[in-house]
Amino acid sequence: MQDFGAAFWLAGELLVSGDETLAEIVVLSLKINAGAVALASAIGMPLGAILAVARFPGRQALVVLVNSLMGLPPVVVGLVVYLMLSNAGPLGVLQLLYTPTAMIVAQTVLVTPIVAALTRQVIEDMDAEYSEQLDSLAVGRLARIGTLLYDARASLVTAVLAGFGRSVAEVGAVIIVGGNINHVTRVMTTAIALETSKGNLALALALGFVLLTIAIVVNGAVGGLRLAMVRDAHA
Amino acid sequence: MRLALLTLALAAAAFAGAAFAADRYIVVQSTTSTQNSGLLDYLLPIFTAKTGIEVRVVAVGTGQAIKNAANGDGDVLLVHAKAAEEKFVAEGFGVKRFDLMYNDFVIVGPPADPAGVEGSTDVVAALQKIAETSAPFASRADDSGTHKAEMKLWKEAGIDPTAASGGWYRETGSGMGQTLNTGIGMGAYVLTDRATWVAFGNKGDYGIAVEGDARLFNQYGVILVNKDKLANVKADLGQAFVDWLISKEGQDAIAGFEVEGQQLFFPNAKGE
């Protein structure tokens, strides 16, 4: 129990003192998570929308597959990305292993199914509501997807936040493809794992509190943005 | 929303570009004990200040480090499992193996000492007592250097502890620090290298139970990965690091590293 009290103090101290190493780790974490979530949204949202609107054989199976991929084990994703990017692997020439880019790639693989699956549900529900109107206006398929995505933007924020939640908390994949290299690929979660393995439990827990604080700030900011969007839509 | 996404995408792109910037660096595949004890954090800045070569360390178990290096994902290998290291060189993955430094393993245990081994300097007899009394023992079980050393000691004791796996013998399948955390939590004996133990922050009421047996010797070696076999190896920069480590300057630096006034690694490179 002592650890909890000590950890709270330590977290406060770390945040107030503006510890340079911590700042570096926080900035890297945010960059990697932002990069992965942006890429995953760029891929997952159109994919989810197409799955929601299009009708083709095997669609239901594909929906089940995408939903299942939300449960991808991070360590397995890390291992697969490692084997691809390793110098012994097919993409070794890119020299991306143990770089932040490799971490973004692994995180994108993990986050894309989450964004796609949640988008699919949101758009499918909205399509059911709007379909008569869209049909009567004879809107083409592509324009239909665009319209639905745009109108669902406030709900889709939640899909993005779910993706962010996954990537910001994940350690299994990034520690394999990033290597947890000091000043290069060390992020919040891998630093927490390292301090735990050193037996510095209070420091590890303090870093956990810092991570949670960051998540709250990001979610608060995005939540504010979402509210503004909803207000605009009704103005 | 679209603006926000665009900003994010731009940030990601700018960032990916920056990752290619620094080039005078090497990747060292190493073991957790050298990182968790703080040795590398102490040594590397000295080397980098002298040569301008940045050293990026991937600290994993010895088994995984050797596998990563054999995949060409490291320029230098710094581990502690002599037989596996010599095999690595014999298979052509490494240029040459050098003795670098040594320390020793210890068995740590709870103050209750259920197996009655405290103060023992005979590690084989101690393991036999632990097995006889079925006192809990937590093993790395992760093919690391420490795990290999532990299995060798069990063999000398004439015991196959894995037969009791899940009973008194607990295979954590994780790193040294995790195994210490787990072992201490369940009141089990744990074999650990002394460096990790001294620097460990979660000792609880544990202390060293068995130490001082010659069989607990722990030798570290350093190997430059072979460019002829793995074309991506930065042979010149890697060689510079190996040369420095086994030079008098590097060896003195290793000897100068202390935690709580205690020297944790003892240099013993023979040089060329």
- All structural domains of chain B: 25-103+219-267 (3.40.190.10), 104-216 (3.40.190.10)
For the stretch A180-232, pLDDT in tens is: 999 999 999 999 999 999 999 989 999 999 999 999 999 999 989 888 888 87
ipTM of this predicted structure: 0.83
Subunit contact A39:B9, Cβ cutoff 8 A? yes
**Chain A residue with minimum CA distance to B174:** A197
Task: Determine the average pLDDT of the residues in A104-118.
Answer: 98
pLDDT for residue B5 is more than 70: no
Subunit contact A95:B202, Cβ cutoff 8 A? no
Q: What is the pLDDT of residue A193?
A: 95
Q: Which domains does chain A have, with CATH numbers?
A: 19-187 (1.10.3720.10)
For the stretch A118-147, pLDDT in tens is: 999 999 999 999 888 888 888 888 899 999
Task: Determine the average pLDDT of the residues in B220-243.
Answer: 96
| DSSP string across A112-158 | HHHHHHHHHHHHHHHHHHHHHHHHHTT--HHHHHHHHHHHTHHHHHH
Task: Indicate the SS3 state at residue B209.
Answer: strand
Identify which of A35, A88, A181 has the shortest CB distance to residue B11.
A35
Q: What's the half-sphere exposure (Cβ side, CA atoms, 13 Å) at A48?
A: 30
Cβ-based contacts of B68 with chain A (< 8 Å): 86
pLDDT for residue B20 is more than 50: no
* C-beta neighbour count of B13 within 10 angstroms: 11
Total-model pTM: 0.88
Detail the DSSP E strand segments found in chain B.
Answer: 25-31, 54-60, 76-79, 94-109, 137-139, 169-171, 189-193, 207-210, 217-225, 258-259, 262-263, 266-267
Q: What is the distance between the alpha carbons of residues A52 and A180, in angstroms, rounded to a whole number?
A: 39
The tokens 């030079």 sit on which residue? Answer: B247
Q: What is the distance between the alpha carbons of residues B250 and B100, in angstroms, rounded to a whole number?
A: 10
Q: What is the pLDDT of residue B49?
A: 96
B176 in contact with A, Cβ within 8 Å? yes
For the stretch A74-106, pLDDT in tens is: 999 999 999 999 999 999 999 999 999 999 999
Task: Determine the average pLDDT of the residues in B238-244.
Answer: 97
Distance from CA of B187 to the nearest CA of A (A): 16
Residue A1's pLDDT band (cuts 50, 70, 90): low
